[in-house]
Each structure stands twice: as structure tokens, then as C-alpha cells.
Structure 1
Amino acid sequence: MKIVIATDSFKGSLKSFEACEIIADAIGEFAPGVEVVIKPMADGGEGTAEAMIRAADGRWIERSVMGPLPEMEVEAGFAWFEAERTAVVEMAKASGLELLRADQMNPLKTTTYGTGELIKAAVEYGAGRILLAVGGSATVDGGVGAAAALGWKFLDGQGQSIALGGGGLEHIEAIVEPRGLELPAIEVLCDVDNRLCGSEGAARVYGPQKGANAEMVEQLESGLSHLADVVRRQLGCEIGEVAGAGAAGGLAAGAMAFMNGTIVSGVETVINWNNLCAELASADWVVTGEGCFDEQSLRGKVVSGIFKIARQSQTQVAVLAGQVKVGAEEYQKLGVTTAMACQSDELSLDYALKHCRELLGDAARRFAEEYICR
């Protein structure tokens, strides 16, 4: 029997490779003769670089860059894969919300400049392909900060460079392209369909999560709309109405306009990187999971991507999650054999997060006992 373990991270408690190893060890206790293959997963957001390093022969290249605020410097870096000449830049490492205290969160001031510095560093390192993972951002600057780090100039009516951050967007009157800028293929890993502007856009949906009050949201919305107009007029590029362009506070839009980037599915990219289709073709079971298995899991998340290829290969699926909020009838329609929760109703979330290793191991042992050893 062959079991492939391909889980996402358990947010706030376990990285994806840690979750995979816990499940593998627990299954090994009950079924030592079973072939177990570990494939750490990610959806193109936080944790993507590390998951891909674990899946292939990659290494981490460290760089000091600007943090989410112009006055901050952070130790960040990118994943490097020599054979593929590919770099994975995870924007959360340079421009992420988790780098800020609550009192520092202000998308009028936060910038993607440091992410642009990482892209530049990857280019200088020799990357022929850059995968840009855009989850966990602290910014709503339309990718202008990242573009500025690559040499683009964004000028106001007096010919001066605008201030970094989302608050400067409404003052852009001219965009100046850098001379001699040569970039490799840049793929923005994204599984949301939010546009840059509007009721489902970057400012209104994600601005409040990044510290914006109602007044700030309207200013950011106005700035992003103005940016889209200037880009359309001066560069002939449409970014305002593209599905996914609003990801990471509009960094996806900026990558399209200023880096010739394309938006691709993060889940599918990591699945392909892991060669998961071939692994599942010869597997009896695939075990996947995440912190909470709910309705969102069924749309553009790691587990939904795995369900899709498992159906094609007729591989049985087990979901091990912190919480299971999808009914058996619904998940069985998707080809899932079983879904097991680590956290019982009587346990608090705080307890579950602190004891996630033991609880996940217990769930994996229950799965092995009920489905593998019977």
C-alpha cells in the first residue's frame, strides 16, 4: 500500500512539512510496512517557498531589504533552485503583515518596495523564472513600491517622486519606465479572483485587515482607481478589471503592469512542482489537511486542488484538519472518504493550537487504525 501525505500548513501552529511528518510518523506506528511519501503543500501564499524547498533540491538565499515600512530593514530572502534557475519570492518575508505590530499597521504607508528588492536580487542571482507568492501582505500600494525598487519612477504634478505606500497613489501623474530593465518570466501565484478596484477589490476587501479605517479604505480605493487609469493611459495596460489583480493589495496588478507578470494558480503550481499527479496515480490513499476544513476549502485551496487530481486517479482521500465544518454528505460528493477533526468540541481553540502536534498525531493514528489496518 502507498500513502501520499500532502497537507497545507495549520495556521498558527504547524508548517506544512511539520504536519506531513507528524502524520507520517503516526501512520508508521500502526502500519510500518506501508510506503509513505511526503509532499508538503502550499497555496502560493505564506509558507510556499519553504514547502517548495522541501519538495526539491532548493536552498534559501538571504538578503537584507526594506520592510513593510520605509524606515524598517528586515532579513528576508528567496528560495533558489539551481537546476531550474528558478527563484521563489515570498512577499510576506519582506512586506508581510506579521512583520508589524498592531500599532504600525497602516496601508497608506506600508510598501512593497522590499519585495521589489527581492525580485531584483533574484534577477541578479541569475533567475530565468521567478514565482511570486503573494499571501500575507501588509500593503495596498498596487505594486508601485516593488516597481520603484526595480527602477520605475512614479512622479507627481511637480515631477517629484511620490511617497511610498498606498497614500501616494492618488498623486501619480507620470510613470517613467527604467532603461534597460530586463526581467525573466514572473508568475504571480494567486487563487483569489478579486479585482483591483470596486466592492470586491483590494482596498475594500483587504484594507481593513491591514489596519485601514473607513476613511483610509476610500482613499486607497481612489488611489488604486487612479493608478489603473494612469497605467491604462500611459502604458496601454488594463489592470483595473482583471480577475486576481487585487491580490496582495494590488501587487498582482503591479506585476502585470511593470514586470510583464502573469497570474497563475498557486495551488496548481505547487501541485505540479511536487509532481503530485504522478504520485497519486500509483497511490492508494492521499492524506491532506489544514487548520480548518470549511466551505472556503472547497474553492481555490490546497485541499480542493488535491480532491481534483485524486478524482482523476481514483485515489482515496482523507482530510485531517484542526476543525471540520463540512458535512459528510457534502465532502463525500467530492470524493473524500473521510474527514477527521483534531479538535473536539470540548477543547478550546487556545488549547488546540498549543497541543496541535499531539492532536494531529492522534487523528492520524485514528485514521490508520480505522482505514489502513482493518
Structure 2
Amino acid sequence: DGGEGLASILTFHAKGHSIKTQAHDPHNRLIEAEYGISGDNKTAFIEMAQASGLQLLKPEERNCYYTSTYGTGELILNASQNQQVNEIILGLGGSATCDGGMGMVQAMGYQFLDEHGNELEGIGANLSKITTIDDRHLKVALSGITIRVACDVANPLTGQKGAAHIFAPQKGATPQHVEALEKGMENLAQQIKSAFGKDVKYLQGAGAAGGLGAGAVGFLNGTLEKGIDLVMEQTKFEAQVKECDYVITGEGKIDRQSLYGKVINGVSQLAQKYNKPVIALGGNIESDPELIKELGLKAAFPILTEPMNLQVALVNTYDQLRFGTFNIGQTIDSCK
């Protein structure tokens, strides 16, 4: 729905291939990252988590006040310059950042200056210091590239449901940092409106991935789309549902949030159109029978086979999921 795995799935369905390149991680260390190119070489599939994801950092390194999306910008730049694509599908999800896309577009040539004319590093801590945005030194012409942004949240950039208040604490920010980031996002929105005439402050999805949604719209002329809708379109999912007997889907956590633009909600709505039963698997299920029915599911099962902490569960996800799908398959087979 916009998070990890998006690029590989879309690349596979587009009969494409992967491109490996160097990029900088959220703490500016050089790493190897990859993105996908469609079989016709016209579309690049990029996950921001590849270069700017939380999984790249140790727990003690996670504080989005100091991290940057610079590496994501490098991937976009590589696809634009070296592959000469005319469309980019950018997945937002799993981010370690809250810089509003400042780092991303800095990698592409944008400069952010403080009141003294000094260039600022593209990190969340510097958002409130921006007084000037300079776009005279861009490394690529984006006017000929369509950028579609896949996200699974509708949060605005600012406010109590915005990027800082909702997501920053999940990425290591202290209460003091959250307040500072909120002021920074307010300033970023004002600067984008002043420089480009775009109001991203309350735009649905602008707060996704630490405000990267706002940055993609404000700086790259991107359009925000529900990740699940975009994936279903690209994979021709509806045609597959029409021909199947059952649909098996899943999420890391199945709870009330699953009703709002997430994978299960999108899959269930389409399956109901063709009267196909949907069964879901989840790493954690925080729901009751009424919510399961509200989600349009026939059943939902947790994949854990014994008590374990999150770290152990993550390591064993593949085996647990495989066992869960095996049991569902056996049950369906026995009912034929």
C-alpha cells in the first residue's frame, strides 16, 4: 500500500528489472539501495524506505529530528538522469524521517537558506530555520516526469493529526522535538506556499512519511494516491479477483485503522463486488467479531504460533506466515 515491498511487486508485474545504486541512509552513510524499472523502461518504482527507512537504523539511532530523506532524492535523481523514465511511482511508508522532503529535494539541487543566507542541511531540526528556497540549481528537469505518490494515510502536514504529532514519536522524537518539528512543518508549508503557490498544510496525505507527501507535491508536482488503489491498478488485481474462488490477504496489525485506506479494506471492497470470500492473516489482531465483519472478512487469524516478543516475531515472520497459509489452504481443500 506504499510501504516496503511496493517496488518489487510493481516491478514484477511490469515485467521489469531492479537497479542497484549507492545512496545515503537517514544518517548520511553510504549504502546500497535499489529501485525497479518497468519492462518498457518508462516507469521507475521507488520505495523511500530503501534509502530513508526505519529498518536501516539501530533502535538507538532512531530520532527523526536528526534524520534526512536525502537518499530518496538520490534514487529519484538516478532514475531521472540515468534511466530517463517519464513516470515515477514513489512509495511512502516505513520512514525514519520527519523532514518534509527537505533532504529529498536537496539531493536534487534545491537549496534551503536561513536568515543569514547560509545553506541548511536537509533534516527535521532545520525546518523552522528556512527563510529562502532556491531552485536555480536543479540537477534534473522534472517538468517532463509524472510523479505518482503511493501512501496509506490521510494525515495532513500539520496539526494534532499531522506528521509531527502522530508519526514523530514512533520514530524516536522526544516531546520537545515533536513541538519543534510541528513548528518546522508550519514554516515549511508557509515557505512552499510563498515560493510555489501551493497550499500543502492541510492536504490529505501530506503528513505521510514525515511530511514527504507534502514535499512530493510542493517541490516535485507529485500527486498523492491511495497506495492500495494504485497497486491494484498496476497489478490488474480486479481481473484476478474475478477469476478466483477465495482471496487471502493480510496486514501487520489488523485493527480499526484497517478500515481507512489500508490493504485489507481495499481488497475486501473489491472482493465484495464479485462476492468473493476474503480471509485475512495478521501479525497482531486487535479486533472483535463485529470489526471483522465490518472489514468484509469471512475470518481473520493471527499468524503467531506461540507467545513471543516483537523482535522474535519479525525474525520468524516468513515461517509463521507460511504455516498460517498452509492451514487455510488445507481447510479450504477439505471443504470442497
Q: Tell me: CA distance 1:230–1:342, structure 2 relative to 1, closer, same or farther (3 Å).
A: closer
Aligned counterparts of 2:189 and 2:320: Cα–Cα separation in 1: 48
User: Match of 1:207?
Assistant: 168
Indicate the residue corresponding to 1:103 in structure 2: 60
Would you say 1:130 and 2:91 are equivalent positions? no
Q: Which residue pairs with 1:262 in the alignment?
A: 223
**Equivalent residues of 1:143, 1:254 under 8 A apart:** yes
**Aligned equivalents of 1:189 and 1:97: distance in 2?**
18
In 2, are the aligned partners of 1:109 and 1:164 still within 8 Å (CA)?
A: no
My pick for the range that moved more, 318-327 or 244-253, is 318-327
SS in 2 for 1:98: helix
Q: CA deviation at 1:310?
A: 0.1
Deviations 1:322-371, CA, capped at 9 Å, x for gaps: 44433334323544223233335x63346655554554444334323433
Q: Alpha carbons of 1:170 and 1:361: their partners in 2 closer, same or farther (altered >3 Å)? A: closer
Partner of residue 259 from structure 2, selected from 276, 298, 323? 298
Aligned to 1:178: 136
- The secondary structure found in structure 2 opposite 1:215 is helix
Mark the runs of 5 or more structure 2 residues left unpaired by the alignment: none
Q: Which has the larger radius of gyration?
A: 1
**Contact 1:60/1:79, CA 8 A, preserved across alignment:** yes
In structure 2, how many angstroms separate the alpha carbons of the residues matched to 1:81 and 1:365?
Answer: 32
1:68-95 deviations in Å (ceiling 9; x for gaps)? 123x111112111132611111111111
Could you tell me whether the CA contact under 8 Å between 1:55 and 1:274 is conserved in 2?
A: yes
Conserved in 2, the CA contact under 8 Å of 1:291 and 1:323? yes
Partner of 2:125: 167
Match of 1:347 among 307, 318, 322: 307
Q: Secondary structure at the match of 1:207?
A: helix
Q: Secondary structure at 1:203's aligned position in 2? A: helix
The answer to whether the 8 Å contact 1:288/1:320 transfers is yes
* Equivalent pairs, count: 330
Instruction: Show the counterpart of 1:197.
Output: 158
- Between the aligned partners of 2:295 and 2:53, the Cα distance in structure 1 is 34
- 2:111 aligned partner: 153
Task: Name the amino acid aligned to 2:50.
Answer: K
Deviation at 1:202, TM superposition (A): 0.9
Match runs of 1:38-53 below 5 Å: 43-53=1-11
What does 1:173-322 correspond to in 2, within 5 Å?
A: 173-178=131-136, 181-183=140-142, 184-322=145-283
Match of 2:293 in 1: 332
Aligned to 1:30: none
Amino acid at match of 2:126: G
Q: How many angstroms does 1:316 deviate by?
A: 1.7
List gaps (5 residues or longer) in structure 1.
1-42
2: CA distance, partners of 1:293 / 1:145: 33
State the partner residue of 1:21.
none
Distance 1:335 1:84 in 2: 38
Task: Give % identity.
Answer: 38
For the aligned residues, what is the CA RMSD?
A: 2.1
TM-score, normalised on structure 2?
A: 0.91
Question: Residues 317 and 216 from structure 1, CA distance in 2 versus in 1: closer, same or farther, beyond 3 angstroms?
Answer: same
In structure 2, what is the Cα distance between the partners aligned to 1:187 and 1:212?
29
Q: Secondary structure at the match of 2:22?
A: strand
State which drifts further: 318-327 or 238-247: 318-327
The CA distance in 2 between the partners of 1:55 and 1:155, in whole Å, is 42
Partners of 2:45 and 2:88 within 8 A in 1? yes
Equivalent residue of 2:161, what SS? coil
Amino acid at match of 1:348: M
For 1:117, the equivalent position in structure 2 comes to 74
Matches of 1:347 and 1:109, distance apart in 2: 35
Give the Cα separation in 2 of the matches to 1:79 and 1:166. 28
In structure 1, what is the Cα distance between the partners aligned to 2:162 and 2:33? 28
Q: Which has the higher contact order (CA 8 A, sep 6+)?
A: 1
The verdict on how the C-alpha distance between 1:210 and 1:284 changes in structure 2, with shifts beyond 3 A counting, is same
Conservation of the 8 A alpha-carbon contact between 1:52 and 1:273: yes
Cα distance, 1:130 vs structure 2:
0.5
Pairwise CA distance, 1:305:
0.9
CA distance 1:161–1:281, shift in 2 (3 Å): same
Moved more, 235-244 or 285-294: 285-294
Shift of the 76–361 alpha-carbon distance from structure 1 to 2, 3 Å rule, reads: closer
Contact 1:58 1:80 in 2 (8 A): yes
Q: Deviations over 1:188-242 (max 9, x none)?
A: 1112111111111111111122221111111111111111112212221101111
Is 1:80–2:37 an aligned residue pair?
yes
1:164-189 per-position Cα deviation (integer Å, ceiling 9, x unaligned): 21111112111112367422111111
